[in-house]
Chains A and B, each alone.
Chain A
């Protein structure tokens, strides 16, 4: 069937639909999101998922009743992983959205106005990008006190400069285009041009970066929880579960192994999806694999 493709977005969607790897990773992401939303209905033992100990069923190996086994307090590990999806996904979304909301406007303004504003903003960004962000996050949480919210906050604070750079590059490339010059000539204010015209046209690379950053943010937060700076017991946070299960590795391997597998899967899915999206959106690497136009 031949059909006229109306625009860039439709091409993107069609290429995406043809890309098996992209669909596969998207399916994993959707699965985890559904798991997080419907956790109390999906989890086989919702109370254990939320942290209720069951002393008489400690360390049961993977079986039909407990596919991933039970932990040192007798809680069903699968149920806890399902509840943990809520934490990891919200952390990822929170960190990435905060970073985008802080970083993007600054980058667009720097790129559009240029001159001194640009110089000051970009030097500030350089400074932020020149030190190890995870180390900085560790120092920040250590001073603010450990906890999930402080961990999220310190990750968000260290993450935004990447978006400033990205948005600036977009603004610089868009601002000389005829439609922007036309609005300028018509007397539209600078701020309005930046947010009404440049912003919508520079969202694509920001979304790609955001998808990949979901993975990095989830990994970073799991790492912080693992060393005791993030979520605290009895939270079913995955990094924390690996951390508590670590000492039982050689006797009850399922306790630390399955929560870690969940972290790996979701991080892999976001990274693969972001990678495929970038390939599709970047004309240099775009491959038209037998698509009918």
Chain B
């Protein structure tokens, strides 16, 4: 177990290094690059006194290294700065918007994992047949389609033409008025069930279908391809041939013995796709007016509110690094070969 421990330490040190690096970059981007942060903070109509007050408030009168130290200590205390638009703490705003994003990201990844493993296994079993080519085309298509465009297409078809799913938003107005959800976790699907509010739950699901499916297309492609290539390799292994020669049932061999060995890369693919989804969700959220971090960030971009943008960058990176760390550790735990590299 010694090698596992040293692997753990190495991975955690790397993760901290990444965070430190990103924090330093965001400091440079927020304190050094903009020509006049105080000007942005008070707006163009401010008086000279207001500007000078802002300089002191933002700590811009101090030398750069002092600003840097203050910035890092601020971050350690959870201070991501103040929004230039709303003059509210960035961390507070982010926490308000975060659950909505996590909700579609989690659901999209569950869909992707499920369909990806199914497609990947099927494709490997039918290698070089029509089914395999078709699935390959779908999976390459999934990683090539611009999510924001695909989102518009689904809106056009399922709302505009068929009229069976809502256009955008997280809940319909009727639900908000007559069956409001009491916020507990911020995940509306969970909250509505906890409230015992079944109509609201159904309404949530109806609103979730399109954004979650669109967000899942890229991860589906990714997981499918990883599972397929791993499955193809595993199916050629001697123990699978041995099982076949011994007359084990085919489905037992494929789904129990082969798939289990092909799942480690699926886990890796999931890490990649989860990380992708956090930023991928940005574009999808904008189209579906989904009140998550993406909508928040795009509004911040439009109004040049860079403390908010950098706050999102830091929070996003923390999520990304944490998920990858978790998956790497899990993988090292499952597969001893990883630790020894």
Contacts and interface: CB of A to CB of B under 8 A. Distances in A.
B30 A143 contact: yes
A126 B145 contact: no
A223 B144 contact: no
B285 to A, nearest CB: 10
Of listed B140, B155, B159, B286, residue having the most chain A CB within 10 A: B140
A72 interface: no
A260 B149 contact: yes
B2 to A, nearest CB: 21
B313 A227 contact: no
Interface stretch (A37-45, A60-68, A131-139, A197-205): A131-139
Contact of B283 (A140, A226, A268): A226
A127 B29 CA distance: 18
Contacts of B309: 138-139, 142
B317 interface: yes
A252 to B, nearest CB: 11
Interface stretch (A1-9, A96-104, A242-250): A242-250
Interface residues of A, number: 44
B278 interface: yes
A131 B301 contact: no
Contacts of B155: 249-250
A138 B145 contact: no
Contact of B160 (A126, A229, A250): A250
Interface in B1-52: 14-15, 17-18, 21-22, 25-26, 29-30, 33-34
B160 A135 contact: no
Given A132-B317, A142-B301, A260 B17 contact: no
B156 A250 contact: yes
A49 B272 CA distance: 38
Contacts of A246: 152, 287
Nearest to B167: A250
A144 B309 CA distance: 13
Contact of A267 (B15, B144, B276, B282): B144
B163 to A, nearest CB: 11
Interface string A216-240: 0001001100111100000000010
B310 interface: yes
Given A132-B320, A227-B283, A253-B160, A138 B144 contact: no
Given A132-B275, A132-B279, A228-B301, A223 B146 contact: yes
Contacts, number: 142
B160 to A, nearest CB: 5
Interface in B109-166: 128, 136, 140-141, 143-149, 152-153, 155-156, 159-160
B111 to A, nearest CB: 21
Nearest to A137: B279
Nearest to B321: A130
B140 A271 contact: yes
A242 B152 CA distance: 9
A70 interface: no
B301 A140 contact: no
Nearest to B318: A131
Contacts of A130: 14-15, 18, 320-321, 324
A264 B286 CA distance: 19
B320 A131 contact: yes
Contacts of B144: 215, 219, 264, 267-268, 270-271
A256 to B, nearest CB: 5
A131 B317 contact: yes
A230 B235 CA distance: 46
B69 interface: no
Contacts of B306: 142-143
B22 A249 contact: no
A263 to B, nearest CB: 5
Contacts of B159: 250
B262 interface: no
Contacts of B153: 257, 260
A239 B140 CA distance: 20
Contacts of B324: 130
A82 interface: no
Interface in B243-302: 275-276, 278-279, 282-283, 286-287, 297-298, 300-302
A143 B140 CA distance: 34
Nearest to B32: A143
A123 interface: yes
Given A123-B14, A143-B34, A249 B149 contact: no
Contacts of A142: 29, 300-301, 304, 306, 309-310
Contacts of B26: 139
B278 A135 contact: yes
A118 interface: no
Interface of B: 14-15, 17-18, 21-22, 25-26, 29-30, 33-34, 128, 136, 140-141, 143-149, 152-153, 155-156, 159-160, 275-276, 278-279, 282-283, 286-287, 297-298, 300-302, 304, 306, 309-310, 312-313, 316-317, 320-321, 324
Given A143-B30, A223-B148, 11 more contacts: A131-B21, A132-B317, A138-B309, A142-B306, A215-B143, A227-B286, A256-B149, A257-B149, A264-B146, A267-B145, A268-B141
Sort A-B residue pairs by CB-CB distance and give the 4 closest, nearest first. A260-B149, A267-B144, A143-B29, A268-B144
11 contacts: A126-B14, A139-B310, A142-B301, A223-B148, A226-B148, A227-B282, A246-B152, A246-B287, A250-B160, A253-B156, A275-B140
